[in-house]
A = this chain, B = another copy of it.
Amino acid sequence: MGMETTRLFQRCLLLLLLLVGHCVLAQRPDSPAFSVVPLGVKGGLDEGNLSAYLVAASGSTSYVCLDAGSVYSGVEKAVARKVFTGSAGEVIRNNIKAYLISHAHLDHVAGLLLNATDDSPKSIYGLSDCLKTIQNDYFNWRTWPNFGSSGNPPALRKYQLQPLTPGQETALENTVLSVQTFVLSHGKPYQSAAFLIRSQNSYLLYLGDTGADAIEKAPQLRNLWQAIQPLVKAGQLKAIFIETSYANVQPPAQLFGHLTPALLMQEMAALSQLTGAAALRGLPVVITHIKPTAGNETAIKKQLTEANSLQMKLIFPEQGQLLQF
């Protein structure tokens, strides 16, 4: 090879490397890591639209269902929006590989229970207290047939109740996802949970019902922010799903372990002190569990938007709509 040719070859190689590098860097923030389908988005009352969020690794049709207040009605909406093909029953049986339940309050499990008769066998993951309530108070033949694997006989053994240990990462069966679990305070002494879902190097954080540390007089959210702050700084956390049940008018004594726009922003400020404000700019924050009482939804959207000095990307999800993060 002559000097000219070698120089030309080197230049081409450099150009190629630059191009590839540019593509990789340019694509990383745009290429989504997670597909999410909200099956229910409201914080109470409306039986057909209660907290439930399907999450899969992008490109995969193997979803886990984070909370399960409404399932069938949400899948029907998603099928109508062409997010899924087939009947609601088929999607529930084939595409939902496991449930992760933040706590056992009825508005977070009713959809799972009501569809258990026609579901395929799978696992229900949750903190051990949550699973104990599901087994003892629902799967007891008095309120519902025993689709669990212990308790009041006969146990139909449709579901494996798999306890999650805070601080440990657990692989989620039949998906490429894994989860790390955090305890939340939901009106002392009642517990809820946050799920940090991982797909390769990307993360999605879902919080079940939660009060603010200041109101709950508990350090649970501060601990959670501490744990996830490196992921926020590194751009690996793709979205936070967090509740805002009540508007700011709700008196502190009547929060029942829930957040308002002011309290949510107070918690986001606490997180930003750990990450720096710039790291939160543009971060998708999906607002869940708005209670559908008169004027509440409008008030919450207004109050959150006005208080969003951190410039997070606030998302108000719709039932059956595909989201990508």
A25-44: CB near B (< 8 Å → 1, else 0) gives: 00000000000000000001
Number of copies of this chain in the oligomer? 2
Query: Does A117 reach chain B (CB closer than 8 Å)?
Result: yes
Of B73, B114, B142, B190, which one neighbours A107 at CB under 8 angstroms? Answer: B114
Residues of A47-84 contacting chain B, CB below 8 A: 47-50, 69-73, 76
State whether the Cβ of A113 lies closer than 8 Å to any Cβ in chain B: yes
Could you tell me the distance between the alpha carbons of A111 and B115 in the complex, rounded to whole angstroms?
16
Contact of A46 with B by CB under 8 A: yes
- For the complex, give the distance between the alpha carbons of A183 and B76 in Å: 36
The answer on a CB contact under 8 Å between A44 and B110 is: no
For the complex, give the distance between the alpha carbons of A144 and B109 in Å.
Answer: 11
Q: Which of B47, B69, B89, B104 contacts A143 (CB 8 A)?
A: B104
Question: Which of A11-19, A133-141, A236-244, A302-310 has 4 or more CB atoms under 8 Å from chain B?
Answer: A133-141
Closest to A110 in B: B110
Chain A residues in the interface with B (C-beta under 8 A)? 44-50, 69-73, 76, 87-89, 104-107, 110-111, 113-115, 117-118, 133, 137-138, 140-145, 190, 256, 293-294
